[in-house]
Amino acid sequence: MPYSDDLRQKLVEAWQAGYGTQAELAECFGVSLSWVEKVLRRWRVTGQTAARPFRHGPPPSIPLARLERLVQQHPAATLAELGRRFRVSAATVYRALARLDLPRKKRHCMPVNATRLVYNGCVRIGDKSAVIWTRVD
């Protein structure tokens, strides 16, 4: 939990009034010296004493608004196709779609893109048996 903004403001006011060194103020307020240094540095640089908002993890690698527009424009696009547009993996696209609460759609009426192998039987070549597969597009 971050310290309250009231405590931060009182620390800066005490520092401005010259009530002691940073180490003395840290002891007086019951906080660490490094925290006092951070609060005063932030106050000197930005003029703000409030804590920065807490972020979990790195920023998203896909702009969610752009992904939503792209899905609306190309509703039959696969995860891999969307991932190539953003230069990320299909799993990353899947997680972003889940954050947007968009369903993952499959193409039911489209032909299969991949080449399939069909079993054509078994033959003997010399003293060994071999399975015959035929490519079907």
Q: Residue 80 has which token pair? A: 């891999």
Q: If you search the block for the tokens 């007086």, which residue do you land on? A: 28
Question: Strand runs (DSSP E) across the chain, as ranges?
Answer: 116-125, 128-136
Q: Which residue has the tokens 């597009």?
A: 137
The CATH number for 5-46, chosen from 3.40.50, 1.10.10, 1.10.3470, 3.30.160, is 1.10.10
Rounded Cα–Cα distance for residues 106 and 119 (Å):
27
**Per-residue pLDDT for the chain (137 aa), expressed as one digit of tens each?**
789 999 999 999 999 999 999 999 999 999 999 999 999 999 999 999 898 888 788 888 889 999 999 988 888 888 888 999 999 999 999 999 988 888 766 555 555 555 566 666 676 777 777 666 666 65
Domain ranges of the chain: 5-46
Residue 57 is predicted with a pLDDT of 84
- For all residues of the chain together, what is the average pLDDT? 84
d(CA 75, CA 105): 8
- pLDDT confidence of residue 106: 57
